[in-house]
A and B are shown apart, each in its own frame.
Chain A
Amino acid sequence: MEWKLFADLAELAGDRHVSVDADAGDTVGDALDELLSAHPPLADRVLDDDGDLRDHINVLRNGENVFADDGLETVLDGGDELALFPPVSGG
């Protein structure tokens, strides 16, 4: 599974695209744990003191906000596109 990262999150991870060891049947949370354990500075940025994802961090699966539905429990399908990004600031 591949994560797309944006803005300062990509800078902290050192790359805009990061492959992680998660497959169909795993959850978005599993894929996030894999990503963050490989990139501690990114974990410090997106997790609060309790280890929960900060409210302003966005997680998208195939372009849709995962928190509109099952959140980090969402089960992955093969070929899903995952994205992690800070608050948007266009315009």
Chain B
Amino acid sequence: MQLLSLVGPAADSLAERLAPRLDGRVATVERLPNREGGTDTDGVDGAFGLADDGAWVGAGDDRSLTDLLDALAPEYDYALLSGFPEARAPTVVVGDQSTKVRGEVVETVETVDDIDADGLETLTRHADDGEPYITLDTLVEQVKQSPRAERAGAIATFTGRVRAKDGDDDSRTTHLAFEKYAGVAEDRMATISEELTTREGVEEVVMHHRTGVIEDGEDIVFVVVLAGHRTESFRAVEDGINRLKDEVPIFKKETTVDEEFWVHDRQ
């Protein structure tokens, strides 16, 4: 799923104009004014309405933007966010935006009404600027769609995440920053996947490594294996993450409460 963040007073109406121009399934996420509770009924934390044709509505409590994006990622090709300056995504500013924007500002427009068809086309293309938003579920759903899935009775997964502490005395890690050799990193991962897939009983191997700043507790890397049986799925997922760590040109800088260092300098 690709993200495009729209901020400023007219962000919602820009989202409405951009959505039909994106190819694929599009979700929009608007920032609501503060509400009292997520549902209208005492004791109900999530309320859903579902029709026979699959139409649905929902309301609930206690969901962060990250929670919501994680849930949308396996199902949608694009998410248009309006009113979330804290989003880490390419961002279009509409009109006056006084608060600080966390993502990279790719375009600033004065008013939505003045944008012609070419302008809208340019804005929609920025939705493909950022890193895809990929979760473990995205990859699991992907391998389940494999034409080889009917031969597979096992899915094994590995998730690497930011470890805050390696021992009682270890100073706390606040975040890691990853950079990759774009192009070559993807080629190496594709080679690893292809080679593992030639093994007997291994049907699909997919992997994804996030880049940029990743905070304590957040996910970094996923390896997912679809296989005939559990034994070959476990072997392939272990070899997949080990080879990724050894062979793929990705570099990490660690920031703890005390210091900042390149991890390869300490290994």
Chain A positions near chain B (C-beta within 8 angstroms): 4, 6-8, 56, 58, 60, 63, 83, 85-91
Tell me whether A91 and B249 are in contact in the complex, defined as CB-CB below 8 angstroms, given that A7-B262, A8-B262, A63-B183 are known contacts: no
B252 touches A90 (CB 8 A): yes
B154 in contact (CB, < 8 A): no
User: In the complex, what residues of A have CB within 8 A of residue B115's CB?
Assistant: none
User: In the complex, what residues of B have CB within 8 A of residue A56's CB?
Assistant: 264
B229 in contact (CB, < 8 A): no
Tell me whether A91 and B241 are in contact in the complex, defined as CB-CB below 8 angstroms, given that A6-B179, A7-B251 are known contacts: yes
B52 in contact (CB, < 8 A): no
How close is B141's CB to chain A, nearest CB, in angstroms? 23
How close is A44's CB to chain B, nearest CB, in angstroms? 14
A4 to B244, CA, bound (A): 21
A88 touches B246 (CB 8 A): yes
A60 to B249, CA, bound (A): 11
B187 in contact (CB, < 8 A): yes
Tell me whether A88 and B262 are in contact in the complex, defined as CB-CB below 8 angstroms, given that A6-B179, A63-B187 are known contacts: no
How close is A49's CB to chain B, nearest CB, in angstroms? 19
B245 touches A83 (CB 8 A): no
For A4, A58, A63, A91, the residue with the greatest tally of chain B CB atoms inside 10 Å of its CB is A91
Chain B positions near chain A (C-beta within 8 angstroms): 160, 178-181, 183-185, 187, 209, 220-221, 241, 244-253, 262-265, 267
How close is B136's CB to chain A, nearest CB, in angstroms? 15
A88 to B184, CA, bound (A): 13
A61 to B262, CA, bound (A): 24
Tell me whether A90 and B248 are in contact in the complex, defined as CB-CB below 8 angstroms, given that A4-B181, A63-B187, A83-B184 are known contacts: yes
Taking a contact as CB atoms closer than 8 A, the residue among B183, B184, B221, B265 that contacts A91 in the complex is B221
Tell me whether A85 and B262 are in contact in the complex, defined as CB-CB below 8 angstroms, given that A90-B245, A90-B252 are known contacts: no
Tell me whether A7 and B220 are in contact in the complex, defined as CB-CB below 8 angstroms, given that A88-B247, A90-B251 are known contacts: no
User: In the complex, what residues of A have CB within 8 A of residue B241's CB?
Assistant: 91
A90 touches B181 (CB 8 A): no
* Chain A contact residues: helix, strand, loop or mixed: loop
Taking a contact as CB atoms closer than 8 A, the residue among B181, B183, B187, B250 that contacts A89 in the complex is B250
How close is B223's CB to chain A, nearest CB, in angstroms? 10
How close is B96's CB to chain A, nearest CB, in angstroms? 34
User: In the complex, what residues of B have CB within 8 A of residue A63's CB?
Assistant: 183-184, 187
Tell me whether A86 and B251 are in contact in the complex, defined as CB-CB below 8 angstroms, given that A63-B183, A63-B184 are known contacts: yes
Taking a contact as CB atoms closer than 8 A, the residue among A4, A60, A83, A88 that contacts B250 in the complex is A88
Taking a contact as CB atoms closer than 8 A, the residue among B183, B250, B262, B267 that contacts A90 in the complex is B250
Subset of 15 A-B contacts with CB under 8 Å: A6-B249, A6-B251, A8-B265, A56-B264, A58-B249, A83-B249, A85-B181, A88-B246, A88-B249, A89-B263, A90-B178, A90-B209, A90-B251, A90-B252, A91-B220
User: In the complex, what residues of B have CB within 8 A of residue A86's CB?
Assistant: 251, 262, 264-265
How close is B256's CB to chain A, nearest CB, in angstroms? 16
Q: Chain A: which residue is nearest B188 at the CB level?
A: A63
User: In the complex, what residues of A have CB within 8 A of residue B181's CB?
Assistant: 4, 6, 60, 83, 85
How close is B211's CB to chain A, nearest CB, in angstroms? 9
B187 touches A88 (CB 8 A): no
